[in-house]
C-alpha cells in the first residue's frame, strides 16, 4: 500500500510539472477569493461564491472522486462540516472538483456524494477556470477565507494523512480564527494528494 501511494505521489508530481502552466500562481495569503458562479452541484443546484455571503468563514476544498487521498479525507470533511459548518452556523464549506476524467464526471460525483453521505455542496468546475483562478494544484487542497473573503489559510486539513495519527486540524483552527476576526496561528501548510488533472493546451501548428 505504501509503495502504491508513493507511486501515486510521484505520478502526481510529474503530472503537476507537466500541467502547471495551466494554473495561475498560488493565491497569496491575504488575497481576495476569486469570484465564481454557476457551478453545478450533485444536488442539481447551481452554486456561486455569493451564495455564501452571509457566512463569516468559508472553506473551499478542491477535491475529486478518483484520488485515494481525497477519498481518505471524505469522512474527516463530513465531520468538520457537522462540527463547524451546519445550516445555523456562521461557516460553510464547498467542495470543487475540476477533474474531467471518467471517474470524476458529474454522474460519478452524484453517485459518490450519495454513497458517502456528503453534507456539503459538491460542485463541478467543468471549464477548470475556478481551479486555475485559485491556483489549485492538489486534491484535496483547502482554502479558508474570512468574512471579507480574504485568504487566511491554505493547505492540508490536518497534520497527518492517517486520521489515527492526526493531532492538529489546521482548517478547524482557521475557521475558529475567522469567526473571531483573527489570523490563525498556522496560515499555510503543504497539501498532500494527487495533482489536479488540468487539461493540457492543444498544440498549434
CA–CA dist 13, 127 (Å, integer): 22
Confidence of residue 88 (pLDDT cuts 50, 70, 90): confident
Q: Where are the domains of the chain?
A: 2-195
Q: Look at residue 22 in the predicted model and tell me its pLDDT.
A: 47
Q: What SS3 class is residue 84?
A: helix
Distance between CA 94 and CA 195 in Å, rounded? Answer: 19
Whether the Cβ atoms of residue 200 and residue 22 lie closer than 8 Å to each other: yes
Q: pLDDT tens across 48-82, in order?
A: 999 999 999 999 999 999 999 999 999 999 999 99
Grid coordinates of 24: 495561475
Q: What 3-state class would DSSP assign to 18?
A: helix
The answer to whether residues 104 and 145 touch, using CB atoms and an 8 Å cutoff, is no
Give the pLDDT of residue 15. Answer: 45
Cα 160 to Cα 165: distance, rounded to the nearest angstrom? 6
The tens digit of pLDDT for each residue in 135-194 reads 999 999 999 999 999 999 999 999 998 989 999 999 999 999 999 999 999 999 999 999
Question: Which CATH number describes the domain made up of 2-195?
Answer: 3.40.30.10
Q: Judge contact between 81 and 118, C-beta under 8 A.
A: no
Contact indicator for 183, 147 with CB cutoff of 8 Å? no
What distance in Å separates the CA atoms of residue 197 and residue 98, rounded to the nearest whole number?
Answer: 7
Confidence (pLDDT) at 86: 82
Q: Decide: 149 and 33 in contact? Cβ < 8 Å.
A: yes
**How many Å from the N-terminal Cα to the C-terminal Cα in the chain?**
43
Whether the predicted model's global pTM rises above the 0.85 cut: yes
Amino acid at each position: 500500500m505504501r509503495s502504491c501511494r508513493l507511486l501515486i505521489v510521484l505520478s502526481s508530481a510529474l503530472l503537476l510539472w507537466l500541467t502547471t502552466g495551466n494554473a495561475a500562481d498560488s493565491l497569496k495569503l491575504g488575497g481576495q477569493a476569486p469570484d465564481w458562479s454557476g457551478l453545478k452541484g450533485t444536488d442539481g443546484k447551481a452554486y456561486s461564491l455569493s451564495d455564501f455571503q452571509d457566512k463569516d468563514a468559508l472553506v473551499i476544498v478542491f477535491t475529486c472522486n478518483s484520488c485515494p487521498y481525497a477519498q481518505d479525507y471524505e469522512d474527516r470533511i463530513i465531520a468538520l462540516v457537522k462540527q463547524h459548518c451546519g445550516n445555523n452556523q456562521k461557516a460553510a464549506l464547498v467542495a470543487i472538483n475540476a477533474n474531467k476524467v471518467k471517474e470524476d464526471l458529474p454522474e460519478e460525483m452524484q453517485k459518490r456524494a450519495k454513497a458517502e453521505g456528503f453534507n456539503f455542496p459538491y460542485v463541478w468546475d467543468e471549464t477548470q477556470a475556478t481551479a486555475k483562478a485559485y491556483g489549485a494544484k492538489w486534491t484535496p487542497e483547502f482554502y479558508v477565507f474570512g468574512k471579507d473573503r480574504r485568504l487566511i489559510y491554505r493547505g492540508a486539513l490536518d497534520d497527518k494523512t492517517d486520521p489515527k495519527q492526526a493531532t492538529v486540524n489546521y482548517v478547524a483552527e482557521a475557521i475558529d480564527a475567522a469567526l473571531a476576526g483573527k489570523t490563525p496561528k498556522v496560515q499555510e501548510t503543504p497539501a498532500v494528494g494527487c495533482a489536479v488533472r488540468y487539461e493540457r493546451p492543444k498544440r498549434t501548428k
